[in-house]
Amino acid sequence: MFSSLLQFFGLKPKPEARKSASQRTVTSHKVEKKKIPVAKLTKGMTVVELDRPWTDVPVMFQEVTIESDKEINLLRKYCQHVYIDYHSYKTIYAQQLVNRKREQIYKKPNLTPQQASISLREELPKAQITFDKSHKHINTLMRDVQRDSKIDIEGSKELVSSCVDSILSDETAMFWLSKIKNKDEYTAEHCIRVGILSIAFGKYLQLPRAELELLGLCGMLHDVGKMKVPQHILNKEGPLTEDEYKIVKEHTVLGYVFLRNHGGIDEQVCTAAYNHHERMNGRGYPRKVSAELLSTYDRIIAIVDSYDAMISDRCYRKGMSPSRALSQLYKGQGDLYDEQLIKQFIQMVGVYPVGSMVEFSNGQVGVVLSVNENSKLEPVVELVTDANKNRIKPRAVDLTKQPQDSNGELLRIKTTLADNEVEFDLETFIQGIKGAA
């Protein structure tokens, strides 16, 4: 499934991804040491160096692959930090993601186009209430940050919890609402979208509800530091000077300091604001930290933040199509972004993300209603124009059923469209869907 998505994007798997499991097992690799606190040791990690001589610790060999809690406790007793073979860490991390996906806390129902349309129409009015409250709340919160006032963190938690409710019920409603954008309110709306998409990604990864709520809060508050950046620089339409770019990059530190100083906020939320521009190769900002110091939350927010920024119109450039944004993310896997999470994110979003605009070979335009899990290149689409781009009464079609147009030709998607490439009032369209519920 993943390889078919890569083919669509015109990309090839990395050579090592095409090796058989047995080949990967016997292939030697150059040891890349990574320093971690002993508190982060887990079974399966291979410890290759200590913060003291091996002779100071009662172990038999000068390298140990952790197999029991007893070994972890022993190293914790004698050491503050150790150096692990980073390859072993990546292997464990990948397996943890696989195991979580197998748990299937949340099962995705198989819906017909009609059922998907009905589910969306039922959830939209409820999701709209939560979305509108979130929009009002985040605007107030941003003003409070700008004034250095105390923010309503409990209100943020309540709204994130409501977003989780909606996404667990039917994430497509929140996806659609988050497509409504106003470039003059980019930072606030961006925070809402990152929160929503992060929750949806967490659901796809089968994270427990408590983690979904924490992840959503990380997304909603990750960019609050931008309210401390001079707005004339943040909203500048032309290229930034080197000095201006340095000032913009300070938003990560400013956001972290603000959240820490105002108390009552989970440390992971503060850290996500600090680390969402750090990168796996240690060349991000503001601190150029190495990958092992970035939590799963930090890594998820980094991916979602980048994706939403790529597909959104900014004052200085137009947004790109979702498929192009996913291609950019894939090219940065392992180097800029977590390799395993990027693969999972691409599989969740798919070639044709829910709410994205697509153009058919006959010229018709549609909005993706839902994704067929077993055939992601053939989604359920709501046709909204005829071949001449004139509005028509929306009609849902399942492309796996090989529907035909009025001329008897098969409907085939020609390309994905950026939101700015088609004159289409999505907000009016969504109101029409709600009215038809």
pLDDT, tens only, 292-321 = 788 899 999 999 999 999 999 887 788 898
- Domain residues of the chain, as ranges? 31-103, 118-349, 357-435
Mean pLDDT of 176-182: 79
Of 225, 125, 226, the residue nearest 170 (C-alpha) = 125
The answer to whether the pTM exceeds 0.85 is no
pLDDT confidence of 95, banded at 50, 70, 90?
Answer: low
pLDDT, tens only, 342-398 = 999 998 888 888 878 899 999 999 988 777 777 888 888 889 889 988 888 888 888
Higher-scoring residue by pLDDT: 331, 122: 331
Only one residue has tokens 């798919």, namely 350
Give me the pLDDT at residue 18, please: 40
**Cα separation, 255 vs 223, whole angstroms:** 7
pLDDT confidence of 106, banded at 50, 70, 90?
Answer: confident
Higher-scoring residue by pLDDT: 118, 323: 323
Longest dimension (CA), the chain: 81
Give me the pLDDT at residue 146, please: 93
Does the pLDDT at position 330 exceed 90?
yes
**Cα separation, 334 vs 398, whole angstroms:** 35
Give me the pLDDT at residue 337, please: 96
Tokens describing residue 331: 């090219």
Length of the chain (residues): 437
Count of other CB atoms within 10 angstroms of residue 164: 24
Only one residue has tokens 């820490």, namely 260
The proportion of the chain whose per-residue pLDDT surpasses 70, expressed as a percent, equals 85
Q: Give the CA angle between residues 102, 178, 218 to the nearest 5°.
A: 60
**Cα separation, 187 vs 175, whole angstroms:** 18
Only one residue has tokens 């924490």, namely 214
Q: Is the peptide bond before 403 cis (omega within 30 degrees of 0)?
A: no
Mean pLDDT of 165-194: 85
Higher-scoring residue by pLDDT: 271, 122: 271
pLDDT confidence of 26, banded at 50, 70, 90?
Answer: very low
Does the pLDDT at position 212 exceed 80?
yes
**Cα separation, 111 vs 168, whole angstroms:** 15
Mean pLDDT of 328-351: 92
| Dihedral Cα 83, 86, 88, 92, nearest 10 deg | 110
Range in 27-36, 215-224, 411-420 with the lowest mean pLDDT = 27-36
Architecture of domain 118-349: Orthogonal Bundle (1.10)
The answer to whether the beta carbons of residues 276 and 252 sit under 8 Å apart is yes
Give me the pLDDT at residue 223, please: 97
Give the distance, in angstroms, between the CA of residue 63 and the centroid of all CA atoms in the same chain: 36
3-state secondary structure the chain: CHHHHHHHCCCCCCHHHHCCHHHHHHCCCCCCEEEEEHHHCCCCCEEEEECCCHHHCCCCCCCEECCCHHHHHHHHHHCCEEEEEHHHHHHHHHHHHHHHHHHCCCCCCCCCHHHHHHHHHHHHHHHHHHHHHHHHHHHHHHHHHHCCCCCCHHHHHHHHHHHHHHHHHHHHHHHHHHCCCCHHHHHHHHHHHHHHHHHHHHHHCCCCHHHHHHHHHHHHHCCHHHHHCCHHHHCCCCCCCHHHHHHHHCHHHHHHHHHHHCCCCCHHHHHHHHHCCCCCCCCCCCCCCCHHHCCHHHHHHHHHHHHHHHHCCECCECCCCHHHHHHHHHHCECCCECHHHHHHHHHHHCCCCCCCEEEECCCCEEEEEECCCCCCCCCEEEEEECCCCCEEEEEEEEHHHCCECCCCCECCEEEEECHHHCCCCHHHHHHHHHHCC
Does the pLDDT at position 2 exceed 70?
no
Give the N- to C-terminal CA distance of the chain in Å, as an integer.
Answer: 34
Does the pLDDT at position 59 exceed 90?
no
Only one residue has tokens 């009016």, namely 428
Burial group, residue 341, by CB count within 10 angstroms (0-12, 13-18, 19+)? buried
| Dihedral Cα 419, 424, 426, 429, nearest 10 deg | -150
pLDDT, tens only, 8-22 = 666 666 554 443 333
